[in-house]
Copies of this chain bind each other. A is one copy, B any other.
Amino acid sequence: MIVSALLTSVGINLGICIIFITLYSILRKQPGNINVYIPRLVAEGKAQQRSHFNIDRLLPSPGWVSRAWHLSEEELLSTTGLDAVVFMRIITFSIKLFSVAGVVGVFILLPINYLGNQIKKTDFSDLPNKSLDLFSISNVEDGSKRLWIHFCAVYFITAVCCYLLYYEYKYISSKRIACFSSSKPQPHQFTILVRGIPLSSGGTFGNSVESFFTEYHSSTYLSHLVVRRTSKLHGLISDMESLYKRVTRLKSNGPAQKKFQRDGFLGLFGRKVDIVDHYERKLGDLEENVRMGQSDVSLAGEEVPAAFVSFKSRYGAAIASHIQQSDNPTEWVTEQAPEPHDVFWPFFSASFLQRWISKLVVIFSVAVLTLLFLLPVAFVQGLTNLNQLETLFPFLKGILTMTFVSQVITGYLPSLILQMFLLIVPPIMKIFSSIQGYISHSEIEKSACSKVLWFTVWNIFFATVLSGSVIYQLNAFLEPKDIPLKLAVAVPAQASFYITYVVTTGWTSLSSELFRIMPLLYNSIRNCVGSADDEFDVPSLPYHIEIPRILFFGLLGISYVILAPLILPFLLVYYCLGYIIYRNQLLNVYEPKYETGGKFWPIVHDSTIFSLLLMQAIAVGLFGLKKLPLASTLTVPLVVLTLLFNQYCRKRFLPIFRAYSAECLIKKDRQDQNDPTMATFLDRLVTAYRDPALMPIQYSGNVHEHNAPLLSFPEV
């Protein structure tokens, strides 16, 4: 790839970004789009409706940038929770790391690479037609003493990265503990989930639980709720809920705005009816169905051998969840309960063995998906090589000889197509994770996050780098000692692909994140067909899509910092843009649905350590290839040191993310002893984990009240 092709790509994408951002600045001020751009503020009632027309509405303004920039971390923490703070710290961590790496790369390594003589330079004036390889390590001659500067850079960047990682891990663990210490009593802190309840002869699961915990945890046991099989009811209830919201909002608009709709297909055919009446009748029918279902389940007693057991103190719950309860480890299996609205109800029915097997099946399926996915990647990879494309589609020859077309194809198209394919992966991974037997949405999302991350790393990095048949790639990993050499040959060759990848996929994904193109389209269509002002959901930040993406760019940056430092400025632009855009979105768009207390950070840490090891492995291979075996050997201790550092962090910080300490729990419990509201809290705790499908429902009679607390646990 030549410099001008890169510049074309940068130009196109910069243009797209600017257009998107400008459009956003204008569109966000239109009243019709508030559900798209500030749904969170709308839901919180903070958005003032500006109905009067104003010329200011049509001009782009940078006010939102300044608001996002000036947001302090405390404000972010209080409004969006610790998970969002951790998410933003991934970006600030990357900015810090790549600022240092960028200075080293651009001002030290880049000139050294350019001064090499492996690639023929015609003359200096013809810069646009020069290969990007001029700026990469490929240009440094074999055995050159200058490679020792690269060697020092490997050590330096590893040291900086480890220091930053340690600092962040320490900071986030302290934040996690601080958040817990300052939190109000919450149901999940007092509750555990028990699975594998044995059935005593003739009794029910409820009796078993009652007798077991009054026997062995008499001083702290409060109550229990046995889980029931309610997947059918859940469908009915969710229909009912959305209908209820719709009716409430319609009514809140007052009788003045009475609306009519046709009662046929999509509201387009049939006779005109009063829309509120119509919905209320529907709601009544649904409620009848649900009531019948509820009484049916209770009578049939379809209990699952799992229960939520609540305790009078956090420490009591922690004791029960940490100590193996029964002599048979497959019975009375305990774990800390998730937040009540975070519980994933459908998969409670699975037994110990079923969950174990479904977990194995999921692991197998993920592996298969990863392997099958290589086919589109291989095709996309072909597009970056014009010669291959011409032999494949001879009729394209005419078009491909045009400079602009060939530049677009090599610079832009491949990563765009790849990106399209990748869009379907996160939802699939989320489905896999939900089958795996996790009990909460947050656990599912965390697991999907890891899956998507490794999928991305394998398919976009290794499969592209080691392009070839699936078998060939697997072979590469079945001969571990050849890995550094193979990587050292293959990775630098793909430098230009990844530089354009950062520019195209990275920049574009950020601006489309800001622009929210799909919700905008959806909203516009609804505005057109006239069902605006209807119910809308405040989305939550899809961590399992965003975190892997950000981490993957980090992996690219770290592994190419030595090889092709030209990638670093583009990455820095990506992260700085991301810093503003994600802060803006967290403020205006996304609402946290649950709180894991920063449990996503260990994934970030592991992934960064992996990136470092990858960089070091490539360096080992590369110094060998460049006939500097001493440097190659001297890089090996760095690998060992990095592994030791990781091991130390796992011992020092990881336990904090698994559970809270006795010290911490007991302190909190003592604070609560003097709290007069605790009695009320414990009363409500008894029913906090009632299955939403089994809650007594009272919708049709309740629709006159606004903002009645729905099925979630009332906040204390």
Interface residues of A (CB under 8 A from B): 177, 215-216, 318-320, 322-330, 332, 352, 356, 360, 478-481, 644, 647-648, 651-656, 659, 661-664, 666
Q: Which residue of B lies closest to A479 (CB)?
A: B479
Q: Which residue of B lies closest to A477 (CB)?
A: B480
Residues of B within 8 A of A644 (CB): 360
B663 touching A325 by the CB < 8 A rule? yes
Q: Which residue of B lies closest to A330 (CB)?
A: B652
A663 to B481, CA, bound (A): 50
Shortest A481–chain B CB gap in Å is 5
B666 touching A216 by the CB < 8 A rule? yes
A651 to B319, CA, bound (A): 21
Q: Which residue of B lies closest to A658 (CB)?
A: B324
Shortest A660–chain B CB gap in Å is 8
Residues of B within 8 A of A177 (CB): 327
A663 touching B327 by the CB < 8 A rule? yes
Residues of B within 8 A of A648 (CB): 356
Q: Which residue of B lies closest to A352 (CB)?
A: B651
**CB within 8 Å for A661 and B319 given contacts A330-B651, A478-B480, A651-B330:** no
Taking A320-B662, A324-B659, A329-B655 as known contacts, 6 extra A-B pairs with beta carbons closer than 8 A to each other, sorted by chain A number, are: A216-B666, A323-B659, A324-B662, A325-B663, A478-B479, A478-B480
Q: Interface of chain A, helix or strand or loop or mixed?
A: helix
A581 to B216, CA, bound (A): 46
B356 touching A651 by the CB < 8 A rule? yes
A651 touching B329 by the CB < 8 A rule? yes
For A328, A644, A648, the residue with the greatest tally of chain B CB atoms inside 10 Å of its CB is: A328
Q: Which residue of B lies closest to A176 (CB)?
A: B327
Residues of B within 8 A of A666 (CB): 215-216
Residues of B within 8 A of A663 (CB): 216, 325-327, 332
A439 to B619, CA, bound (A): 41
A480 to B476, CA, bound (A): 12
| Cβ-defined partner of A661 (8 Å) among B323, B647, B652 | B323
**CB within 8 Å for A662 and B479 given contacts A651-B329, A652-B329:** no
Closest 5 CB pairs of A and B: A329-B655, A324-B661, A323-B662, A322-B322, A478-B481
| Cβ-defined partner of A656 (8 Å) among B329, B647, B652, B655 | B329
| Cβ-defined partner of A323 (8 Å) among B318, B327, B480, B656 | B318
A360 to B651, CA, bound (A): 14
A327 touching B651 by the CB < 8 A rule? no
| Cβ-defined partner of A319 (8 Å) among B319, B328, B655, B659 | B319
A652 to B662, CA, bound (A): 28
A215 to B652, CA, bound (A): 24
A479 to B479, CA, bound (A): 5
| Cβ-defined partner of A327 (8 Å) among B319, B320, B328, B656 | B656
Q: Which residue of B lies closest to A180 (CB)?
A: B327
Residues of B within 8 A of A656 (CB): 327, 329
**CB within 8 Å for A326 and B216 given contacts A478-B480, A481-B478, A651-B356:** no
Shortest A667–chain B CB gap in Å is 9
A47 to B75, CA, bound (A): 82
Enumerate 25 A-B pairs (CB-CB under 8 Å) in ascending A order.
A177-B327, A215-B666, A216-B662, A216-B663, A318-B323, A323-B661, A323-B662, A324-B655, A324-B662, A326-B661, A326-B662, A326-B663, A327-B661, A327-B663, A329-B652, A329-B654, A329-B655, A330-B652, A332-B663, A356-B647, A356-B648, A356-B651, A478-B479, A478-B481, A479-B479
Shortest A233–chain B CB gap in Å is 32
Q: Which residue of B lies closest to A667 (CB)?
A: B216
Shortest A666–chain B CB gap in Å is 5
Residues of B within 8 A of A664 (CB): 327
Residues of B within 8 A of A328 (CB): 652
Residues of B within 8 A of A323 (CB): 318-319, 322, 659, 661-662
Shortest A637–chain B CB gap in Å is 13
A693 to B380, CA, bound (A): 74
Q: Which residue of B lies closest to A648 (CB)?
A: B356
Q: Which residue of B lies closest to A665 (CB)?
A: B323
B356 touching A325 by the CB < 8 A rule? no
Shortest A54–chain B CB gap in Å is 53
A319 to B216, CA, bound (A): 13
Residues of B within 8 A of A647 (CB): 356
Residues of B within 8 A of A654 (CB): 329
Residues of B within 8 A of A481 (CB): 478
A177 to B324, CA, bound (A): 14
A479 to B476, CA, bound (A): 10
A648 to B329, CA, bound (A): 11
Residues of B within 8 A of A322 (CB): 322-323
Residues of B within 8 A of A318 (CB): 323
For A327, A656, A659, the residue with the greatest tally of chain B CB atoms inside 10 Å of its CB is: A327
Residues of B within 8 A of A479 (CB): 478-479
A479 to B474, CA, bound (A): 12
Shortest A605–chain B CB gap in Å is 15
Shortest A640–chain B CB gap in Å is 9
A655 to B664, CA, bound (A): 27
A352 to B647, CA, bound (A): 13
A34 to B480, CA, bound (A): 58
A664 to B327, CA, bound (A): 7
Shortest A595–chain B CB gap in Å is 19
Q: Which residue of B lies closest to A181 (CB)?
A: B327
Residues of B within 8 A of A655 (CB): 324, 329
Residues of B within 8 A of A320 (CB): 662
Residues of B within 8 A of A662 (CB): 216, 320, 323-326
A325 touching B661 by the CB < 8 A rule? yes
Residues of B within 8 A of A327 (CB): 177, 656, 661, 663-664
Shortest A479–chain B CB gap in Å is 5
For A319, A324, A325, A644, the residue with the greatest tally of chain B CB atoms inside 10 Å of its CB is: A324
Q: Which residue of B lies closest to A325 (CB)?
A: B662
Q: Which residue of B lies closest to A650 (CB)?
A: B329
Q: Which residue of B lies closest to A174 (CB)?
A: B327
For A320, A322, A326, A329, the residue with the greatest tally of chain B CB atoms inside 10 Å of its CB is: A329
A480 to B324, CA, bound (A): 38
Shortest A460–chain B CB gap in Å is 26
Shortest A658–chain B CB gap in Å is 8
Q: Which residue of B lies closest to A654 (CB)?
A: B329
Residues of B within 8 A of A661 (CB): 323-327
Q: Which residue of B lies closest to A644 (CB)?
A: B360
A121 to B79, CA, bound (A): 87
Shortest A355–chain B CB gap in Å is 11
A326 to B655, CA, bound (A): 10
A328 to B656, CA, bound (A): 8
